[in-house]
Structure 1
Amino acid sequence: MDWDKLRIFHAVADAGSLTHAGDALHLSQSAVSRQIRALEEALGTTLFHRHARGLILTEQGELLFEATSTMAKKLDSAAARIRDSEEEVFGELRVTTTVGFGTLWLAPRLVKLYERYPELKIDLLLEERVLDLPMREADVAIRMKEPAQADLIRKRLLNIKMRLYASPQYLERAGRPHRLEDLAKHRLICQNPATPQVSAGAQLVQQILAQEVHSTLTVNNYFGVLQGVLNHIGIGVLPDYLTVDFPALERVLPEIESIEVPVFLAYPEELRQSRRVTAFRDFVQEEISAYRRQQTGDLIGD
């Protein structure tokens, strides 16, 4: 099969337009159209439905586009590895993690990575959905569970727990609870148990809500929960990695906490030699080590 025709087909399918594909490929619309017709003749099938508003893939076209998309990702991966020199780290790195960990722990620390590698381009994908690393939906993942996908290199970074925190101002105004039952008299800030999240956090929230808490503020991510706590709205269920960066938070009911949640860093086997991935992995591990030292120092200070 003609690789050049496949490249043109992929561009047309991606753009949904001969004109837009031609602009991206620096070809005339008629040249693109000729190549598509030639590919359809070679395959003996129709790849696009032609409409006034653009092109729509046929069922056969969708099958071919799925194949060319996989090819394009593999080629992008190979090109990225080739571009990575032995001395420099540059280009795009797609990192996926949860909204909470990405906004509250990772993003504030990335300035150090950019200072080290100013030409690095990070695309931070924050969502609870687990992206498919072997299919290159992302290059590196930091997740709150061990990845189940095959052909991944994985590294356990740390264990975290969900705990109860409040601001000193809130506790001074509303009083400090001494028993789990006392939470019924306080406002709870948490993720809705039905929201996609770490199961350990959802279980802890359900345990607390069973105390018939009269007032709640539910948010769909930990960043929002933290803002509620910092603004003295109530007692929040938050991951314990926040205590280093927000030392003013006071822990409430220390005996109440979730089970341990493992945090893993993972990336595809094929990116083992990528300078970008190695640089990011080493940076995260350094920051985790610094976080642990600071956490230990805070515990000794207490």
Structure 2
Amino acid sequence: MDWDKLRIFHAVADAGSFTHAGHELGLSQSAVSRQISALEHELRVPLFHRHARGLILTEQGELLYRTAHDVFTRLASAQTRLMDSKDKPSGNLRLTTTVGLGTIWVTPRLNEFIELYPEINVELLLDDRELDLGMREADIAIRLRRPVQPDLIQRRLFTVHHHIYASPDYIRRHGMPRTLEDLDNHVVLAFGTAPSYLADVNWLEMAGREPGNPRRPALRINNVYGLRRAVESGIGIASLPDYIVGRDSNLVQLLREAEVPEFDTYLVYPEELKTSKRVAVFRDFVISKAKEWSF
């Protein structure tokens, strides 16, 4: 089986279209399509159902994709070990975390790491969905919960606390709530659909209410930074993690006595990368930065 055609097939199956795969591979859409047609001709089976909205793998295509994906995963692991055989940490390092934590806490600290290790190429993948480290969707992750997979190495970094915030302008216009029940008379903002492990981020919907009778937020935003901006602009009141508010914000913390949700944050990476120099230096760097920071 031609290796180049297999590589192109794997990219097309991941991307779901010839055009998107071509962008990833640096090839034209027609060149990608020709390679896939040639592979199908060689194997004498169709690999994709072609539709106006994209490509869907056939049963035979699924079989080939699973095999090819396993091969490329093993190759990535071998490349990691070969790169780590050098004295100086180098190569690609893919880090994943949530959009909010990655934007506000991780990104500002990467400049120092890049200056310390210029031969490491960092790729930051921001996604509230947890990427599969075992399948090498990323090398290392910072997560807002303790991992449940047994083959992942974990290190607790810090605890993220949520508090209730409003802008000075909002308080001037609407007054300050004195109890959780007072929130019924205020404009409450909420995070959009949250993954199950972050369900408590929208605790204000039930705070001070009878079970089964949540208050209805006036606005939902599926990005915690966007939620902070909405609070800053005076739209309403929201529960925000302290890391995204920061120390220089003019937001006012409300109802300080309220019991607020908290999330332990963990640095996580696969067992197979425990000897990786790139992972080790990044792990030590993040742990040192976590010790400097107190939310």
Q: Normalising by structure 2, what TM-score?
A: 0.78
Q: Distance in 2 between matches of 1:49 and 1:188?
A: 48
Correspondence for 2:244: 242
Q: Distance in 2 between matches of 1:47 and 1:213?
A: 53
How far is 1:30 from its partner?
Answer: 10
Q: Partner amino acid for 1:266?
A: V
Q: Distance in 2 between matches of 1:15 and 1:128?
A: 24
SS for the counterpart of 2:159 is strand
Q: Partner amino acid for 1:285?
A: I
How far is 1:222 from its partner?
Answer: 0.8
How far is 1:275 from its partner?
Answer: 1.9
Q: Distance in 2 between matches of 1:206 and 1:167?
A: 22
How far is 1:56 from its partner?
Answer: 7.7
Could you tell which deviates more after superposition, 128-137 or 87-96?
87-96
Q: Distance in 2 between matches of 1:33 and 1:236?
A: 53
CA change 1:55–1:145 in 2 (3 A) is closer
Query: How many residues in Structure 1 have an aligned counterpart in Structure 2?
Result: 278
The match for 1:289 among 288, 291, 294 is: 291
How far is 1:283 from its partner?
Answer: 1.8
Q: Is the 8 A contact 1:187 1:213 kept in 2?
A: no
Q: Distance in 2 between matches of 1:261 and 1:131?
A: 19
Correspondence for 2:183: 183
Q: Is the 8 A contact 1:89 1:117 kept in 2?
A: yes
Is 1:46 the counterpart of 2:48 in the alignment? no
Q: Normalising by structure 1, what TM-score?
A: 0.77
Bigger CA radius of gyration: 1
Q: Partner amino acid for 2:219?
A: L
Q: Distance in 2 between matches of 1:156 and 1:142?
A: 9
Q: Distance in 2 between matches of 1:65 and 1:96?
A: 24
**Structure 2 alignment gaps of length 5 or more:** 13-17
SS for the counterpart of 1:254 is coil
Could you tell which deviates more after superposition, 29-38 or 207-216?
29-38
| RMSD over equivalenced CA pairs, Å | 3.6
Correspondence for 2:273: 271
Q: Partner amino acid for 1:74?
A: R
Correspondence for 1:123: 123
Q: Is the 8 A contact 1:6 1:68 kept in 2?
A: no
Is 1:137 the counterpart of 2:160 in the alignment? no
Is 1:14 the counterpart of 2:10 in the alignment? yes
How far is 1:58 from its partner?
Answer: 4.3
Is 1:196 the counterpart of 2:195 in the alignment? yes
How far is 1:133 from its partner?
Answer: 0.8
How far is 1:48 from its partner?
Answer: 4.0
Q: Distance in 2 between matches of 1:167 and 1:81?
A: 51
Correspondence for 1:171: 171
Is 1:63 the counterpart of 2:59 in the alignment? no
Correspondence for 2:157: 157
Q: Is the 8 A contact 2:205 2:214 kept in 1?
A: no
Correspondence for 2:92: 92
CA change 1:46–1:106 in 2 (3 A) is same
Correspondence for 1:112: 112
How far is 1:139 from its partner?
Answer: 0.8
SS for the counterpart of 1:234 is coil
Identity of aligned residues (%): 38
Q: Is the 8 A contact 2:100 2:244 kept in 1?
A: no
Could you tell which deviates more after superposition, 200-209 or 182-191?
200-209
Q: Partner amino acid for 1:46?
A: V
How far is 1:226 from its partner?
Answer: 0.8
Correspondence for 2:15: none
**Structure 1 alignment gaps of length 5 or more:** 296-302
Q: Partner amino acid for 2:229?
A: Q
Correspondence for 2:234: 232
Q: Partner amino acid for 2:286?
A: V
